[in-house]
Structure 1
Amino acid sequence: MPDTNILLVVKGEDARSAYEEALCRIGVGYEVASSFGEALKLSIERAFSGVVIDILTLVRSDKDEKLIAYDCINLYPSIRVKWDGRKKEINLSLLEQSFVSDSEASLRYFVEHRCRNFPPRSLRKYHRTTICLSVYLCVAETFSEKESAKSFTVNLSRGGAFVHTTVPLAKGETVWLSFPGFDDPAPIRCRVCWSIPWGSGRSIPGVGVCFESLSETQSAEVAELSRG
């Protein structure tokens, strides 16, 4: 699987070695980040098809790093694993254990069936803040509230947003967003960068969009809100 690249997020050396050995046995490319801050830098520079997250690294992360983890989990196919140093074995999170008891077989299935079919993607360069804002989403350039779907944002950055929707939208499509709570609610031209279809695993369905036409007032409001 030369085109499949996995992002492995783990801090502990023993756990890292165990996960790396398992990924090598599967025969998949991977890169390692010792924190979610490092994972963010890697995922901006490179494209990945999935992320393997060490549970202990996640639990010990601070609030900002957990937001990055949330972004990763929503964008990429993800699996959470835990290294048991006493038994010298990899365990799955409780949720994943309910489906498959053999951890390494589950990891192999995750890589071969979920990651291999997932187009490699990068995270955005702007930090996103989890925030729920009411928004009108319209696919027609002649924007009107009647033609729009009432929705909300899941997160926001200076460069774009993740907007909940069950409308199938392809990468590269143009949509218009209007935020009724803004001082300037004029429609904002946006480009769809990626999407999560309804029913796709345990992720929130929606689209990640990049802003292409912010006014000065809108840009200031977005910057203020994205600082949390």
Structure 2
Amino acid sequence: MRIILVSGPGSGREAYIKALREFGVAFDVSESLLDLSEMHNQVRCNGFIIDVPTLLRSGAADKAEANLLMDNFPVLRINYNASSGIRGIPSGRFSGTSGDLKTFILESCNSFPARSLRGTKRANKVLNVILNRDLNSPGSQIEKSVTLNFSTEGGFFFSVSNWKKGDYAWIVVKELDDKTPIKSLVQWVVPWGRLNHFPGIGVQFLNISNQQADQIDEFIRGKKELK
């Protein structure tokens, strides 16, 4: 289990670090939400602890980043006072109801699967892809498709074929430099004919390479043009 603490320098951060060490939990420290996005984007963690004064000093873009965290991770907003100690407010659907730091870590974070911050960021952009049910199958098992949205951990792909949850797909993305097929697991299916829905499959990437994930992240953040 790994926790990321977001806190500027001061007595509060020292108290938080002391408590985390006493709990024996692995953790990283980020001085700001901006630093978090730039320096810890690929770190897989089980939750975030955010110092309230640090959050209040943040700009609008950083506060939007905090909202993204609350939507996708266990998050505890905490404050430190020399007389009353550390007090917390759980924030978001994964964070439980206890404001106690130890309870938050042992219950909310310990039960949450580790994921990276960049994996929560999704783009509603079109990539051209090939869906293959079996790498050893004939050409009839191959389907041309496009993404409706994607992240470094998966995406939703247009399809009118007969897929079911639990199927495996091997996906080749035309726009990626590394065109090694990405083994993926179908997590949900939207069948053709459902009102106001695109038909397709939502998949989880199982063996995406670092090069592929880095390039997808660049597409999402607009640092690399789609060609």
Which structure is larger by alpha-carbon Rg, 1 or 2?
A: 2
Evaluate the alpha carbon distance shift between residue 13 and residue 174 of structure 1 in structure 2; reply closer, same or farther with a 3 A threshold: farther
Match of 2:49 in 1: 53
Verify the 8 A CA contact 1:9 1:39 in the aligned structure 2. Answer: yes
**Superposition deviation, residue 32 in structure 1:** 1.1
**Superposition deviation, residue 22 in structure 1:** 2.7
Map Cα deviations across residues 188-221 of structure 1 (whole Å, 9 max, x no partner): 83665999x67xxxxxx865756979xxxxx9x9
Match of 2:15 in 1: 18
Aligned-partner residue type, residue 110 of structure 2: E
Aligned-partner residue type, residue 133 of structure 1: K
Evaluate the alpha carbon distance shift between residue 227 and residue 7 of structure 1 in structure 2; reply closer, same or farther with a 3 A threshold: same
Match of 1:164 in 2: 155
Map Cα deviations across residues 131-188 of structure 1 (whole Å, 9 max, x no partner): 421445543176533xx4752136xxxxxx5653496699xx852236xxxxxx8998
Match of 1:181 in 2: none
**Superposition deviation, residue 112 in structure 1:** 3.2
Tell me the secondary structure at the aligned position of residue 101 of structure 1: coil
Match of 2:76 in 1: 80
Evaluate the alpha carbon distance shift between residue 139 and residue 60 of structure 1 in structure 2; reply closer, same or farther with a 3 A threshold: farther
Percent identity, please.
15
Match of 2:161 in 1: none
CA distance in structure 2 between the partners assigned to 1:131 and 1:33 by the alignment: 25
**Superposition deviation, residue 222 in structure 1:** 4.9
Q: Does 1:109 align with 2:100?
A: no
Verify the 8 A CA contact 1:162 1:207 in the aligned structure 2. Answer: yes
RCO (CA 8 Å, sep 6+): is it higher in 1 or 2? 1
CA distance in structure 2 between the partners assigned to 1:164 and 1:188 by the alignment: 18
Verify the 8 A CA contact 1:133 1:153 in the aligned structure 2. Answer: yes
Aligned-partner residue type, residue 144 of structure 1: E
Unpaired runs of at least 5, structure 1:
155-160, 179-184, 199-204, 214-218
Choose which of 172, 179, 184 in structure 2 pairs with 1:189.
Answer: 179
CA distance in structure 2 between the partners assigned to 1:48 and 1:54 by the alignment: 17
What's the TM-score once normalised by structure 2's chain length?
Answer: 0.53
What's the TM-score once normalised by structure 1's chain length?
Answer: 0.53
Evaluate the alpha carbon distance shift between residue 63 and residue 100 of structure 1 in structure 2; reply closer, same or farther with a 3 A threshold: closer
- Matched positions, count: 188
Evaluate the alpha carbon distance shift between residue 113 and residue 99 of structure 1 in structure 2; reply closer, same or farther with a 3 A threshold: closer
